[in-house]
Structures are given as structure tokens and as C-alpha cells.
Amino acid sequence: MSKNDLALLVLDSCQEFGKKVEQHLLQIRNEKDKRYIAKLNASRFSNGEGKVKINDSIRNKDIYILCDVGNYSVTYKCRGKDHEMMPDEHFQDIKRTICATCGHSTKVTVVMPLLYQARQHRRKGRESLDCAVALQELERLGVKSILTFDAHDPNIINATPNLSFDNFYPTNTIIKEMAKNDPGVFENAIVISPDFGAMERARYYAEIIGCDVGVFYKRRDLSKLVNGKNPVVAHTYMGSDVKGKNVLIVDDMISSGGSVIEVAGKLREMGANRICITTTFALFTEGFDKFLAAKENGLFDTLYTTNLSYIPKAFSDYDWFYSVDMSYFVAQIIDSMDKKEPLTKYFNKTKDTFKTVQKSINN
């Protein structure tokens, strides 16, 4: 039975996604006149300082705070000018929201699909350790659970050993969407990891599809630092022949897109047939033009990502671009947590997805 004592605190960065989650919760629980999203106001002073006020009662409720730290479409006026909110500001609003509950909630869970500072999960020498520090901050503020997706390094869980940290993957949902839209891509297929860091994810795709896996070695110039990273000098392929095969390039995140496009170009030169790029988060930090040019030049065929982080609506105009909706999956997780049910079933869907792939191939 549903407990009906949960409340969703949806920040401005996650409004559209949060409303979908609420609608799916109502569907799952067969409710019509229930409202789960509590009203809140995240405002800014003219100098950029902010505050959060919760306008509905959340006393004795399990709170789920939804925030997309990667949403750059949220703006506010600062000193008379429009200012795009950055990840640091989104994370600060999460902390403000926790403080605004005033300890009245039973339990606070932060649903942060794109984990804040996930790429700064470890340090070499005198570097900041931002992701670990952020998680520890949330724990000190009384957060009991973190829900995220495809963390850059799942081992970040070790930063807060007493905090419940669930890291889910959209793999099964993405593959099922691919099976619906382009089932032929799984025939004579090979999964490619653009670097060794994404190899485990690529192997998981390959296991479900039932195919071989290859990887590119990303050689970097360690003597230089460009935009916070050592620039890539060359991509060297390691794996079986891709000539005539359908290729799935799998990664957790597309930032500028330079590496994945270069990998796609090399695979095309090697004689790959269809090339499909799949990623959990498509950030496009240097814009979408690079992908438009790559598509026009025939470097890849389709690109699949999720709506777990902000993507401009204009991108959906392209028939080769697919944004896979994860709101129902998130609603299922929240519903199960509220009912105190185990979450194991949301991690182990390999067999069901494998059957879907095989059915699409046979048809």
C-alpha cells in the first residue's frame, strides 16, 4: 500500500522533469486528486544572493529534492544583467532547500541525476576534492539518501560510508528505446568504448546485446593543460575489425564532443557500417554545431541520450537525435523507496532487456 506521506521539492532546474515524475507517481499509485510537488520559491536578491522558501507543509513527510545541476537555461537578474545559473549555484540551492525544511521532514533524499562535481572525484597532488566534499556537506545537513545516475566514478560512494548512495544506470531504458526505433543496429554489432574509463559501461552494453567490445586508448599530452584537462594527442583503437559492422559508441557524458566525434570519424575510416552514439548526459558545452557538422559529414548516424539533464528543445527537431525519457524510472524508484521496498529490481534488468534485443533482431 502507498504511504502517501512523501513530498517532491522540485527546484527551477528540474521543473519539467519533476512534473513528469509526479504524473507517473499518480499513475503508479492509481491516484487522481493527489499532489506531491510542494510549492517552493527559490529567489535571488539583486546582488546574486539567494534564498529558498517552502510554501506548503512538509511536516513528517519523506522529502525528495529534485535538482539538475547541469541546467544552464535557468537565469536570474544579477546587478541588472541576465545571469545563467552554474552548477555551483544549483548545488547551493539544494543546501538552501534542505535548510528550509527546518527539520520538519522525516527523511531527506536528494535526487541529483547529474552528480555535482562528479568529474572531480579524485585528486592528484594539491587539487580540490569537490565531489567528496559536496557529499559530506549534504550528509552534515541531514540528508539520508542520494539518488544519482551513471556517476563518473561509482567509487565516490566511499566518501560518505554512512550515507545511502544509489547510483542507477539508464542503459536498459536506452537500449529498449533503440530496439523500438532502430532494431537493425543490434545485428552484426560491436560496442566501442571511447576510452578505458568507459570500458565497464561498454561491456555491460555488449553483454545485453550479445556482441564483442572494443576500446580506444586516449593518449594525452601531460605537459599541457587546456580548459582544465590534458589535451588528447591521438586515439588508438584496440579490438576486433569493425569493417561492415554496426557500431555503438558508449560513454557516460558528452562534454564538448570533440573526442567522441573523432572516435566516430576513425571508425568510419575503418569501414564501420551504422554508427550510433549513446551517452547518459549530453552537455554540449561548446554548442551543438560540432555535431551538426559531423552528421552532415556522415561521421555518425544516430545519437541517443537521456533527459536526466537539460537539453534544449530545439535539438529534438532532428530525426537522428533521441532524448530518452527517464522520468517513469525515477518515479518507480521514489515509489519503492516510499513504500520501503528493496531497489534491487531496478539494478538487475539485464535478462529482460536481453530478451527485448533478441526479439528486435529476430523480427
Query: Which active-site residues does the annotation give?
Result: 218
Question: In angstroms, what CA-CA distances link 226 with 102, 128, 131, 199, 222?
Answer: 43, 18, 21, 25, 10
Tell which phi-psi region holds residue 332, choosing left (phi > 0), alpha (psi between -120 and 50) or beta: alpha
Return the C-alpha cell found at 282.
549530453
Residue of 154, 251, 147 lying closest to 195 (CA atoms):
251
Return the C-alpha cell found at 362.
529476430
What is the number of residues in the chain? 363
Instruction: Report which DSSP code applies to 39.
Output: P
Continuous H helices in 222-349: 258-269, 289-296, 327-338
Q: Are 170 and 329 in contact (CB under 8 A)?
A: yes
Residue of 140, 147, 145 lying closest to 107 (CA atoms):
145
Q: How far is CA 320 from the centre of its chain?
A: 20
Q: Are 219 and 234 in contact (CB under 8 A)?
A: yes
Residues ≥6 apart with Cβ < 8 Å to 241: 270
| Interior/surface letters 230-251, b for 16+ CB within 10 angstroms, e for the rest | eebeebebeeeebeebbbbbbb
Return the C-alpha cell found at 65.
529534492
Neighbours of 149 (CB within 10 A): 23
What span, in angstroms and rounded, lies between the C-alpha atoms of 204 and 227? 31
